[in-house]
């Protein structure tokens, strides 16, 4: 029995994280970007109010201003959006502060739908345009480091 204990421990600890094992029976459906960004701004605004953040990103999130579309060639699924929004809801104030920064905002890895390094169809012109539009949308509270939507 003692010889089997390490095997059982491995089996229990090697399991995937809940929520990261697929779409949990959902059919693969493309995420509605307008609804996603609206919901994200609501979560951002709630954190801003609860945590006492006072940034332009918070003001824009609370006014429901910001992005309504994902980057070109980025097509996240509904499940991806759910995992991202769950991660945002679960974040504490200290963790959320960088997400709402006016300069260089970040986002949890769960919200990195389409990393730029994996999106080769973007040209340097579209990346520049995306970066320019990102700096404007960063203040919207609709940031997301790396892909799908950029801070």
Grouped pLDDT means (10 residues each) for the chain, 151 residues: 55 50 68 97 98 97 95 93 97 97 94 72 42 37 44 52
**Structure confidence at residue 102 (pLDDT):** 95
| Distance from C-alpha of 12 to C-alpha of 71, rounded to nearest angstrom | 38
Q: Which two tokens stand for residue 43?
A: 């979560």
| Distance from C-alpha of 64 to C-alpha of 81, rounded to nearest angstrom | 18
The pTM score is 0.64
**Structure confidence at residue 27 (pLDDT):** 78
**Structure confidence at residue 62 (pLDDT):** 98
**Structure confidence at residue 57 (pLDDT):** 97
71's CB contacts (< 8 A; 6+ apart) are 114, 119, 122, 130, 147, 148, 149, 150
């Amino acid at each position: 029995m003692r010889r089997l204990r390490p095997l059982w421990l491995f089996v229990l600890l090697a399991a995937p994280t809940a929520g990261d094992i697929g779409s949990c029976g959902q059919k693969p459906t493309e995420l509605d970007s307008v609804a996603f960004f609206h919901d994200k701004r609501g979560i951002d605004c709630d954190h801003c109010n609860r945590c006492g953040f006072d940034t332009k990103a918070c003001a824009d999130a609370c006014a429901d201003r910001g992005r309504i579309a994902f980057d070109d060639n980025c097509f996240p699924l509904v499940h991806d959006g759910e995992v991202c929004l769950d991660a945002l809801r679960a974040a504490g104030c200290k963790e959320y502060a960088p997400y709402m920064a006016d300069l260089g905002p970040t986002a949890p890895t769960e919200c990195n739908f389409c990393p730029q390094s994996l999106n080769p169809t973007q040209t340097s012109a579209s990346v520049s345009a995306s970066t320019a539009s990102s700096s404007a949308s960063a203040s919207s509270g609709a940031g997301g480091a790396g892909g799908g939507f950029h801070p």
